[in-house]
Amino acid sequence: MTAFPEPRRVETARGAFSLHEAGPEDGIPLVMLHGWPELAHSWAPVFGPLAEAGYHCLMPDLKGFGASDRPDEARAYAMDALTDDYCALLDALGLERAVFIGHDWGGAIVWPMGWRHPERVMGIAALCTPHPARAPVAPLSILEQRFGKKHYIVQFQDEGLPDRVFGGREDDFFPFTFRPGPPRSIWPKLYPEVTWLPERFAEYDPATAEPPVMGEEDLGVYAEAYRRTGHRTPTHLYRMIDENWRQTEGQDLTVRCPALMVTAERDAFLPPEASEGMEERVPDLSRAQVDAGHWVTWEAPEAVSAALLDWLKERFPV
Percentage of residues in the chain having pLDDT higher than 70: 100
pLDDT at 1: 82
In a domain, 130, yes or no: yes
pLDDT band at 2 (very low <50, low <70, confident <90, very high): confident
> Does residue 1 sit within a domain?
no
Residue 239 domain-assigned?
A: yes
The stretches of the chain forming alpha helices (DSSP H) are 47-52, 79-93, 105-116, 139-147, 152-155, 161-166, 170-177, 187-190, 197-202, 216-229, 236-239, 241-247, 296-299, 301-315
pTM passes above 0.85: yes
Is the confidence at residue 73, as pLDDT, over 90?
yes
Q: Does residue 2 form part of some domain?
A: no
Q: What is the mean pLDDT of the chain?
A: 97
Q: What is the pLDDT of residues 221-243, one digit of tens each?
A: 999 999 999 999 999 999 999 99
State the Cα–Cα distance between residues 48 and 50, nearest whole angstrom: 5
Count the domains in the chain.
1
CATH number where 176 lies:
3.40.50.1820
Across the range 24-46, mean pLDDT stands at: 98
List the catalytic residues.
Answer: 104, 294
Cα distances from 210 to residues 26, 203, 271, 290, 311, in angstroms, run: 43, 14, 21, 21, 33
pLDDT in tens, 249-264: 999 999 999 999 999 9
Average pLDDT over residues 43-54: 98
Please give the average per-residue pLDDT across 275-304, as a whole number: 98
DSSP string, 155-176: HTTSTTHHHHHHTT-HHHHHHH
Angle among Cα 167, 169, 172 to the nearest 5 degrees reads: 140
Summarize pLDDT for 8-18 with one digit per residue, the tens.
999 999 999 99
Question: Is 132 a member of any domain?
Answer: yes
Percent of the chain exceeding pLDDT 90 equals 98
The model's pLDDT over 154-168, given as tens digits with 9 standing for 90+, comes to 999 999 999 999 999
Question: Regarding beta strands 285-290 and 259-264, do their DSSP bridges make them parallel or antiparallel, or are they unpaired?
Answer: parallel
Q: What would the mean pLDDT of 289-314 be, rounded to a whole number?
A: 98
- pLDDT band at residue 213 using 50, 70 and 90 as cut-offs: very high
Q: For residue 59, give its domain range.
A: 7-315
Mean per-residue pLDDT, 146-151: 96
Residue 276 lies in a domain: yes
* Per-residue model confidence (pLDDT) at position 280: 97
How many other β-carbons are positioned within 10 Å of the β-carbon of residue 157?
A: 15
